[in-house]
Chain A
């Protein structure tokens, strides 16, 4: 089994993003490190715009994640509504 991950700078927007990821990915493991937060999920991760908008209470363009992102791993598939990370093996 492989793990995909994504990491963000610790800030108010990423707090909402991480809450959304936890809600949409029940197997997510969140690790707080100095100034950053890293989320690991086995095999694949889905990030939904609608869930983030619910958490932040405002409209959100998934490409806004670029501003807060630190790093990630896995193949990306991105649309206007979802951002997916996965390994294909």
Chain B
């Protein structure tokens, strides 16, 4: 019989963090004998990244699988306690205003499916990278991303019981015009090789950009009374700290392994910074227009999390020969315009969006003018005032014609020329006899570098015109065939309910009535 340490009372010296990490991440793999290694890891070399020693990979958090499960379980318990309490106490009635809920609709349709794709992506990359340290980190991230998707769905399912537009988020993600923006972003990343994926998602998106989504917006959710979103958001972002660290480790590792890796990595940073930045257009408008009580403007968030933090990051990476991504300066210049241009787009395409929009109130416009002193009154206020007047006259501005979309980011070509906010930015490329339109130098560079990939883009507007976006019961030969109505039905909207202005919506009416009931025993009016 063996005496255990416990039985003898002489505790073995506890292993230090660095030793535990080494034991749990090294020597776990082996050289295959009955299949060549290049067949086992078929995607390891074709991107041109040279790796000489995978043992140089180090996770700075030194998180091991056992500790991972322990802390993730604690996070889940905290998160679900808050979500349950929020649901049990009708927490939605503590919201500042039901307008806020529209930001959640955008989040659920646009972000949550990306979490799931990130789960798949890291599972795939974790399988394909030949280094075991990287594989362990990817495995953790893959599990994290699945957790994020699930907790977001759980949290927002509480709203689905009471508010419009939450019912078909997964169906919508594969069909709806503006959701092709986040969808195509992730499809682009997951169809790249494993090293590019690490730079695309692990570095460019996680390190440079996710703070902008999860920190100010989620702090804003808390500020507007949404404990559910606050809980899932901060819980997700606590994992992001680890993901950012993985992304930074990935880039340092590639750059330290071989000098030939530098130009490849730099190009990926240029490409994926711009791809990710374009997706964040939606976040800019969530911060500035969709939070009833505002925490910070998009511009302020950009200055803290991109200019200051990203600036420090790229100053640090300069020792490897890395420069800030192409398009960085333009993104910084555009901070005065982005949210206004985006919200104006959704306002006018209200009939095609499954969430409610509105003209900002006079008070909100004063806030915008204060946060954007150089641009709001000069360029954007006249638009909103015109629309407010048209609404008052019973003639709300509804844009009924489909827009030209960028071939790469798939956003309507709404962005203006650098330095001239009165001119749309047009860029064109020719490839194999066809013309392709892009919204910016950033997207044009991406197209011109890999034309064969982007000519396959599933552009919602072109697909509608090709007749691919109608349900089986639609009859294009019928005399009263309304193509845009049929498209909206195919998207899965509850037509006339989900896609109408906030003013007069069910959400607005119900929220008002339910709020009244919180301080009265009288049945709700109307």
Direct contact of A and B (CB under 8 A): yes
Residues of A with Cβ closer than 8 Å to B? 2-5, 7, 9, 33-36, 63-64, 66-80, 87-89
- Cβ of B63 under 8 Å from chain A: yes
Q: Is the CB of B237 within 8 A of A34?
A: no
Other-chain residue from A7, A36, A79 in contact with B18 (beta carbon distance below 8 A): A79
Q: Is the CB of A5 within 8 A of B309?
A: yes
Q: Can you list 27 A-B contacts (CB < 8 A)?
A: A2-B312, A3-B312, A9-B234, A34-B219, A34-B220, A35-B222, A35-B230, A35-B234, A36-B215, A36-B219, A36-B234, A63-B17, A63-B67, A66-B63, A66-B71, A70-B241, A71-B240, A71-B241, A72-B241, A72-B244, A75-B248, A76-B61, A78-B60, A80-B16, A80-B17, A87-B313, A89-B315
By a CB distance below 8 angstroms, the chain B residues around A36 are 215, 219, 222, 234
B250 to chain A, nearest CB (A): 13
Q: Is the CB of B309 within 8 A of A73?
A: yes
Alpha-carbon gap, A66 to B242, bound state (A): 9
Residues in B307-342 with C-beta less than 8 Å from chain A: 308-309, 311-313, 315-316, 318-319
Alpha-carbon gap, A72 to B238, bound state (A): 9
If A36-B234, A63-B67, A67-B238 are given as contacts, then 13 extra A-B residue pairs at C-beta distance below 8 Å, sorted by A number, are A7-B215, A35-B223, A36-B222, A63-B63, A64-B71, A70-B214, A70-B234, A71-B214, A71-B237, A71-B240, A71-B241, A73-B309, A80-B16
Residues in B42-68 with C-beta less than 8 Å from chain A: 60-63, 67
By a CB distance below 8 angstroms, the chain B residues around A71 are 211, 214-215, 237, 240-241, 244
Interface flags, B504-521, vs A, CB<8A=1, else 0: 000000000000000000
Residues in B8-59 with C-beta less than 8 Å from chain A: 16-18
By a CB distance below 8 angstroms, the chain B residues around A63 are 17, 61, 63, 67, 71
Alpha-carbon gap, A38 to B241, bound state (A): 14
Q: Is the CB of B316 within 8 A of A70?
A: no
Q: Is the CB of A67 within 8 A of B318?
A: no
Nearest opposing residue in chain B for A64, CB measure: B71
- Cβ of B170 under 8 Å from chain A: no
By a CB distance below 8 angstroms, the chain B residues around A3 are 308-309, 312
Residues of B with Cβ closer than 8 Å to A? 16-18, 60-63, 67, 71, 74-75, 78, 211, 214-215, 218-220, 222-223, 230, 234, 237-238, 240-242, 244-245, 248, 295, 308-309, 311-313, 315-316, 318-319
A11 to chain B, nearest CB (A): 9
By a CB distance below 8 angstroms, the chain B residues around A87 are 312-313, 315-316
Alpha-carbon gap, A88 to B238, bound state (A): 24
Alpha-carbon gap, A4 to B241, bound state (A): 13
By a CB distance below 8 angstroms, the chain B residues around A77 are 60
Alpha-carbon gap, A67 to B318, bound state (A): 33
The list of the 10 closest CB pairs from A to B, nearest first, reads A2-B312, A35-B222, A76-B60, A34-B223, A66-B71, A34-B222, A69-B238, A87-B316, A34-B219, A70-B237
Number of A-B contacts (CB under 8 A): 95
B430 to chain A, nearest CB (A): 42
Interface of B is mostly: helix
Alpha-carbon gap, A3 to B181, bound state (A): 33
Q: Is the CB of A67 within 8 A of B234?
A: no
Q: Using known A-B contacts A35-B234, A63-B67, A78-B17, determine if residue A2 contacts B315 with beta carbons closer than 8 Å.
A: yes
Nearest opposing residue in chain B for A77, CB measure: B60
B73 to chain A, nearest CB (A): 10
B75 to chain A, nearest CB (A): 6
Q: Is the CB of B319 within 8 A of A89?
A: yes
By a CB distance below 8 angstroms, the chain A residues around B309 are 3, 5, 73
A49 to chain B, nearest CB (A): 11
Q: Is the CB of A67 within 8 A of B75?
A: yes
Alpha-carbon gap, A68 to B234, bound state (A): 9
User: B62, B244, B312, B315: which has the most chain A beta carbons within 10 Å?
Assistant: B312
A4 to chain B, nearest CB (A): 8
Nearest opposing residue in chain A for B211, CB measure: A71
A68 to chain B, nearest CB (A): 7
By a CB distance below 8 angstroms, the chain B residues around A80 are 16-17
By a CB distance below 8 angstroms, the chain B residues around A74 are 312
Q: Using known A-B contacts A67-B75, A75-B248, A89-B315, determine if residue A33 contacts B238 with beta carbons closer than 8 Å.
A: no
Alpha-carbon gap, A8 to B248, bound state (A): 21
By a CB distance below 8 angstroms, the chain B residues around A2 are 311-312, 315-316
Q: Is the CB of A88 within 8 A of B319?
A: yes
Nearest opposing residue in chain B for A72, CB measure: B241
Q: Is the CB of A70 within 8 A of B215?
A: yes
Alpha-carbon gap, A76 to B295, bound state (A): 29
Alpha-carbon gap, A54 to B219, bound state (A): 29
Alpha-carbon gap, A77 to B242, bound state (A): 13
By a CB distance below 8 angstroms, the chain A residues around B71 are 63-64, 66-67
B45 to chain A, nearest CB (A): 28
Alpha-carbon gap, A7 to B238, bound state (A): 9
Alpha-carbon gap, A46 to B244, bound state (A): 19
B169 to chain A, nearest CB (A): 25
Q: Using known A-B contacts A76-B60, A79-B17, determine if residue A67 contacts B74 with beta carbons closer than 8 Å.
A: yes
Alpha-carbon gap, A70 to B231, bound state (A): 11
Alpha-carbon gap, A7 to B237, bound state (A): 10
Q: Is the CB of A68 within 8 A of B222?
A: no
Nearest opposing residue in chain A for B313, CB measure: A73
Alpha-carbon gap, A36 to B311, bound state (A): 23
A85 to chain B, nearest CB (A): 10
Alpha-carbon gap, A70 to B75, bound state (A): 12
Alpha-carbon gap, A74 to B245, bound state (A): 9
A5 to chain B, nearest CB (A): 7
